[in-house]
Amino acid sequence: MIERTLILVKPDGVARGLVGEIVSRFEQRGLKIGAIKLVRVPESLAKKHYDYDDIVKRRGELVWKKLVKYVTNQVVVALVIEGVEAIALVRKICGETEPKAALPGTIRGDFAHHSFKYADSKDLAVTNLVHASSDAKDAEREIPLWFEKDEIISYKRSDEAFHYGE
Ligand code: GDP
Ligand code: MG
């Protein structure tokens, strides 16, 4: 039940100086950082990360193109976050995809306000600060795209004895 998930602080999050604020949302919830680094995203990585077939089926080809443009040649912070049933929990902490609809208390609901309609009218991807793996299959596919095995570090936080037992 201890899961690992991939988070990206997207280029708008880095540009706005929100990296610390965003990372602390996960830390304060008791989730553990397993890996963290700054990455300037090459097009090849952007295209692997945003799987063409998946995005086209769910959101359309135009969105896929805008997404690749949004992250390519930009700086993001990539993280592996670990914890009890972490994948779904992290999605909840991020909030809904469309910032306009995201609830206050979530990252997207506290720090962003873009809408799909506005983004589409400007030929932009909706700027929503973070990416988080959507399920276990996605996490398993995405983590190795961003991190080598030896960049993901196992260690104990001092509070783990309380939560995890022996
Ligand atoms: P996520 O898992 O919540 O990030 O959402 P998706 O995987 O469905 O979409 C990937 C990303 O595409 C989102 O985070 C947005 O940045 C962008 N996006 C999704 N849908 C739309 C849309 O309808 N219009 C625009 N402009 N961008 C979108
Ligand atoms: Mg997604």
- Domain holding 136, by residue range, is 2-146
On the question of pLDDT at 164 being above 90, the answer is: no
Closest approach atom of ligand 1 to CA 58:
8
On the question of pLDDT at 153 being above 80, the answer is: yes
On the question of pLDDT at 84 being above 90, the answer is: yes
Residue 100: C-alpha distances to residues 35, 66, 114, 119 (Å): 30, 19, 6, 11
| 49 within ligand 1 shell (Cβ under 6 A) | no
Give the pLDDT band (50/70/90) at residue 162.
confident
CB < 8 Å & 24+ apart, contacts of 87-96: 87/3, 87/5, 87/132, 87/133, 87/134, 87/135, 87/136, 87/139, 89/29, 89/31, 90/5, 90/7, 90/26, 90/31, 90/132, 90/133, 91/132, 91/134, 93/25, 93/26, 93/29, 94/130, 94/132
On the question of pLDDT at 166 being above 80, the answer is: no
Q: What is the pLDDT of residue 140?
A: 98
Average per-residue pLDDT in the chain?
A: 96
- Number of domains, the chain: 1
Instruction: Check if the beta carbon of residue 153 is closer than 8 Å to that of residue 34.
Output: yes
Which pTM was predicted? 0.97
Structural domain contains residue 164: no
Closest approach atom of ligand 1 to CA 96:
3
Q: Which of 69, 97, 138 to mutate to test the pocket of ligand 1 (most atoms within 8 A of CB)?
A: 97
On the question of pLDDT at 88 being above 90, the answer is: yes
Q: What is the pLDDT of residue 3?
A: 98
Structural domain contains residue 38: yes
Structural domain contains residue 59: yes
CATH of the domain at 22: 3.30.70.141
Give the distance (Å) from ligand 1 centre to CA of residue 142.
16
On the question of pLDDT at 89 being above 90, the answer is: yes
Structural domain contains residue 102: yes
Amino acid at 85: E
Structural domain contains residue 82: yes
Q: What is the pLDDT of residue 16?
A: 98
Each residue's pLDDT tens digit, 102-128 = 999 999 999 999 999 999 999 999 999
Q: Whose CA is nearest to atom 5 of ligand 1?
A: 97
Structural domain contains residue 43: yes
Q: Which residues contact 49 (CB under 8 A, 6 or more apart)?
A: 71, 131, 142, 145, 146
Structural domain contains residue 151: no
Each residue's pLDDT tens digit, 51-80 = 999 999 999 999 999 999 999 999 999 999
Structural domain contains residue 18: yes
